[in-house]
Every structure is written in C-alpha cells, then in structure tokens.
Amino acid sequence: MPATFTSLLLLIVLLAPGFTYAAVRDRHRPERTSTAFRETSRVVLASVGFNAAALISFACVRISAPDRTPDVGRLVRERDPYVRAHYAETLMWTAAVLLLAVLFAVLVARFLPRRRFAVNPESSAWWVLFDMNARANGTEWIRVECELIDGSHLAGRVHHYSSNPEETGDRELALGPPFEYRPAPDGEQRDLTDTHRVVISARQIKFLGVTYFSRSGGSGGSNALGRTAARSTGPAPGQQGAQRTP
C-alpha cells in the first residue's frame, strides 16, 4: 500500500489508463460484475499495456527530436535536481505521455467491441439482442413483442433499455410507437394512440420477441431482417432464458 500521499497520487495517475479503459468498455459492452481480483487485474494489466505504448511513443519522439524532449538519462541519474531545473518541461511531457496512454485506452475500448465477437457469457442478454446483434445486422430499428405475466400483449419500437449487465427484474424497457396492445382476457383495454413512450419492467415480461428492421433502398420503407424470441425460464420473472432464432 502507498505510504505517502505522493505515492498514492502517483499510483492513481499510473492506473488512470486502466480505469478509463474499464469505464469506456463497460459503457459500450456491459458485462456482469466480476470478482474484485478480476476487476483489479484487468485495470492493472490494461494500465501497464497502455502506459508502455505511450512510453514507446515518447521514445520514438525522443530519438527523432532529442532537443525538444526531457533528457531521460539525466532524469534517472539526477532525479530531483533535474526535475527542479526543468520542472515545466518535465511536467508537460509527463502529462502528454499520460494523456496519450488514456487516449490509447479510449480508442481500444471504444473500437475493439465493434468486431464480431462470439457471444460472451458475461454479457447481458438484452445487450446482445438490442446492441450486438443489431449492429451485426445493420439494423435501422428494432421492434419487440412482449407477453406480460398478466396475459396481456404489448409491442412497439425499442426506444431505450437498461444496459445493466445484471439480469434482474429491476431493468426497464422503453418502447415507442407504433404500438400494438392486447389486454389480458379479464383486463382493461388501453388507448395508446397519443402515447409517446411506454416503460415496461423486466419483472413483468414473460416472453420477448425481437424483430430487426433495416431501411430499404428505394422506397424508404423498412425490411425485416430476422426475428429472435426469448422466453423467461428461470424462477425469477423478467430474466430471459433460452434464446432461439427461427
């Protein structure tokens, strides 16, 4: 553990690329919460890699323009006296290397998930259906059909969904028009004509059908790309189980 405030600050700075990588990656590819050891290892290893890449870039600049960069040899030999004599230059290049490492972390975390990975078992089923599969199919918009636990049926266009990787009943799915609603046999009919958004709790969903649409070339209409169905099979309502693609 760091013994002084300076050591703690230095540790935070060195781990900044790893924290950035984890934050950006979780935003674009959410996964279930891992163990503390696994999360810490991911941050540390990512920080080492991105810091090394930034230092290699600095070394290339140092070789090509030695007069414009700090003298690393003198910095290692003299340490504090050299830093006091060249504090502005040293601080500027230290910040530049750190920012470059953070930039590498953002770029890798942002663009790496765009590749067509196999389904990660740690990923949320909703994220796989509404994000990964949608991007892989070139989807323009998504329509879902929900059978609720009270027997009613609601369909609409996906407007927003909870990207929480933990598949709990607390997640919500926001739908937009055009809506299709059929009440339960003993339920009350609802008029959704002037409704802009409908929010459904995952806890109330028993069956979820997903249809992907892409913009057609000539007429400006939409073409269905494919359908996916997910039925809740676990003991907790709202958790999607087996998936099939007809």
What is the extent of the structural domain holding 78? 5-114
On the question of pLDDT at 103 being above 90, the answer is yes
Domain annotation covers residue 40: yes
Based on the fold, state whether residues 133 and 230 are members of the same structural domain: yes
Half-sphere exposure of 232 (CA within 13 A, CB side): 19
User: Which of 83, 114, 145 is at the close of a domain?
Assistant: 114
Alpha carbon distance 41, 214 (integer Å)? 40
Based on the fold, state whether residues 106 and 186 are members of the same structural domain: no
Sequential DSSP letters for 181-211:
EE--TTS-----TT---EEEEGGGEEEEEEE
Domain annotation covers residue 86: yes
Mind listing the pLDDT tens digit for each residue in 138-173?
Answer: 788 899 999 999 999 999 999 988 877 677 778 889
Based on the fold, state whether residues 99 and 22 are members of the same structural domain: yes
- Name the nearest CA neighbour of 105 among 30, 42, 33: 42
Based on the fold, state whether residues 236 and 140 are members of the same structural domain: yes
Q: 101 with 90: CB under 8 angstroms? A: no
Alpha carbon distance 128, 212 (integer Å)? 13
Domain annotation covers residue 133: yes
- Arithmetic mean of pLDDT, 92-114: 86
Domain annotation covers residue 46: yes
Based on the fold, state whether residues 107 and 132 are members of the same structural domain: no
Based on the fold, state whether residues 148 and 231 are members of the same structural domain: yes
User: Which of 114, 135, 164 is at the close of a domain?
Assistant: 114
| Residue with more model confidence, 53 or 40 | 53
- Name the nearest CA neighbour of 207 among 155, 135, 157, 131: 155
Domain annotation covers residue 53: yes
* pLDDT band at 54; cut points 50, 70, 90: very high
Based on the fold, state whether residues 15 and 108 are members of the same structural domain: yes
Based on the fold, state whether residues 223 and 129 are members of the same structural domain: yes
- Arithmetic mean of pLDDT, 67-86: 83
Alpha carbon distance 165, 120 (integer Å)? 12
Domain annotation covers residue 119: no
Alpha carbon distance 107, 129 (integer Å)? 24
Number of domain units in the chain: 2
Based on the fold, state whether residues 134 and 222 are members of the same structural domain: yes
On the question of pLDDT at 117 being above 80, the answer is no
The model's pTM: 0.49
Domain annotation covers residue 120: no
On the question of pLDDT at 225 being above 80, the answer is no
User: Which of 114, 140, 160 is at the close of a domain?
Assistant: 114
Q: What is the pLDDT of residue 156?
A: 94
Based on the fold, state whether residues 226 and 130 are members of the same structural domain: yes
On the question of pLDDT at 125 being above 60, the answer is yes
Percentage, residues of the chain above pLDDT 70: 76
